[in-house]
Structure 1
Amino acid sequence: MNGKAEQDHHEAGQVSTRTRLERGRGALGPALELVHTGRAPTRAVLTAELGVTRATAGAVAAELEALGLIHVEPGAAAGSQGRPSHRLVVADDGPVVLAAQVHADGFRAALVGLGGRIVATAPGCETIDADPAQVIGSVVDAGADLLRETGRRCVGAGLAVPSAVAEPEGNALNPLHLAWPAGSPVREIFAERVRAAGLAVPAFTGNDVNLAALAEHRHGAGLGARHLLCVATGHRGVGGALVLDGRLHTGSSGLALEVGHLTVNPEGRPCYCGGRGCLDVETDPLAFLTVAGRTPGPEVNLLQQSRDLLRREYADDPLVRRAAEELIDRLGLGLAGLVNILNPDRIILGGLHRALLDADPERLRAVVADRSLWGRSGGVPILACTLDHNSLVGAAELGWQPVLDDPLGALTG
Structure 2
Amino acid sequence: MTRTTRLERGRSALGPALELVHTGRAPTRAVLTAELGVTRATAGAVAAELEALGLIEVDSRPGAAAGSQGRPSHRLAIDPAGPVVLAAQVHADGFRAALVGLGGRIVATAPGCMTVPADPVHVLSAVVDAGADLLRSTGRRCLGAGLAVPSAVAEPDGTALNPLHLAWPAGAPVREIFTERVRQAGVMGTAEVTESAESAVPDSTAFTAFTGNDVNLAALAEHRHGAGRGARDLLCVATGHRGVGGALVLDGRLHTGSSGLALEVGHLTVNPQGRTCHCGSRGCLDVEADPLAFLDAAGREPGPEVSLLQRARDLLRTEYEDARVRKAAELLIDRLGLGLAGLVNILNPDRIILGGLHRELLEADPERLRAVVAERSLWGQSGGVPILPCTLDHNSLVGAAELAWQPVLDDPLAAMAG
Q: TM-score range by the shorter chain?
A: over 0.9
In the alignment, structure 1 residue 127 sits paired with structure 2 residue 115: yes
Match of residue 48 from structure 1: 34
Q: Which residue of 1 aligns with 2:415?
A: 410
Any idea what the Cα deviations from partners look like across 1:134-188, whole Å, max 9, x if unmatched? Answer: 1001101100111111110000000000000001111000111111001000000
Report the counterpart of residue 289 of structure 1 in structure 2: 295
Following superposition, the deviation at residue 275 of structure 1 comes to: 0.3
State the match for 1:268 in structure 2: 274
User: Aligned residue for 2:193?
Assistant: none
The Cα offsets for residues 258-315 of structure 1, whole Å up to 9 and x where unpaired, read as 000000111111100000000000000000000001111000000000010010111x
Corresponding residue number in structure 1 for 2:152: 164
How far did 1:128 drift?
Answer: 1.0
State whether residues 76 and 85 of structure 1, in contact with CA within 8 Å, keep that contact through their aligned partners in structure 2.
no
Post-superposition Cα deviations, 1:185-227, rounded to whole Å, max 9, x if no partner, equal 0000000001000134541000000000000000000011111
Larger gyration radius, structure 1 or structure 2: 1
Amino acid at match of 1:259: V
Residue 82 of structure 1 and its aligned partner are, at CA, apart by 3.3
Q: 2:62 matched to 1:75?
A: yes
Structure 1 residue 77: Cα displacement: 5.2
Q: Equivalent residues in 2 for 1:32-47 (5 A)?
A: 32-47=18-33
Alignment of 1:398 onto 2:403? yes
| Local SS of the residue matching 2:379 | helix
Pairwise CA distance, 1:397: 0.3
Q: Distance in 1 between matches of 2:100 and 2:156?
A: 25
Q: 2:226 aligns with which of 200, 220, 224?
A: 220
| 2:223 is equivalent to residue 237 of structure 1 | no
The one-letter code matched in structure 2 to 1:174 is N
TM-score, normalised via structure 2 length: 0.93
- For the residues of structure 1 that align with 2:101 and 2:208, how far apart are their CA atoms? 16
CA shift, 1:19, in A, is 3.0
SS at match of 1:27: helix
Q: Which runs of 5+ in 2 are unaligned?
A: 189-200, 202-206
2:319 to 313, 316, 329: 313
User: Cα offset for 1:373?
Assistant: 1.4
SS state of the match for residue 268, structure 1? coil
What is the rounded CA distance, in whole Å, between the counterparts of 2:35 and 2:29 in structure 1?
A: 10
Q: Secondary structure at the match of 1:241?
A: strand
1:362 paired to 2:367: yes
State the Cα distance separating 1:81 from its structure 2 match. Answer: 8.2
Instruction: State how far apart, in whole Å, the 1-side matches of 2:325 and 2:399 are.
Output: 33
Q: Structure 2: how far apart are the matches of 1:270 and 1:114?
A: 42
Q: Which residue of 2 aligns with 1:5?
A: none
Counterparts of 1:233 and 1:55 in 2: how far apart (Å)? 48
Please, which of 279, 302, 305 is the counterpart of residue 308 of structure 2? 302
Paired-residue identity, %? 84
What displacement does 1:376 show?
1.8
Partner of 1:6: none
**Secondary structure at the residue paired with 2:86?**
strand
Q: Does 1:143 align with 2:155?
A: no
The answer to whether structure 1 residue 333 and structure 2 residue 338 are counterparts is: yes
Amino acid in structure 1 at the alignment position of 2:156:
P
For residues 151 and 86 of structure 1, the distance between their equivalents in structure 2, rounded to whole angstroms, comes to 30
Q: Distance in 2 between matches of 1:207 and 1:372?
A: 27
SS at match of 1:26: helix
2:347 corresponding residue in structure 1: 342
- Structure 1 segments of 4 or more deviating over 2 A? 199-202
Give the superposition deviation at 1:374: 2.1
Opposite residue 101 of structure 2, the aligned amino acid is G
2:379 aligned residue (374, 379, 396): 374
Q: Indicate whether 1:97 and 2:102 are aligned.
A: no
Measure the CA separation in 2 of the matches of 1:400 and 1:248.
15
Give me the CA root mean square deviation. 1.2
Q: Would the aligned equivalents of 1:202 and 1:399 in 2 still touch at CA under 8 Å?
A: no
Q: 2-side partners of 1:366 and 1:128: how far apart?
A: 39
Letter in structure 1 aligned against 2:313: R
Contact between 1:336 and 1:368, CA under 8 Å: does it hold in 2? Answer: yes
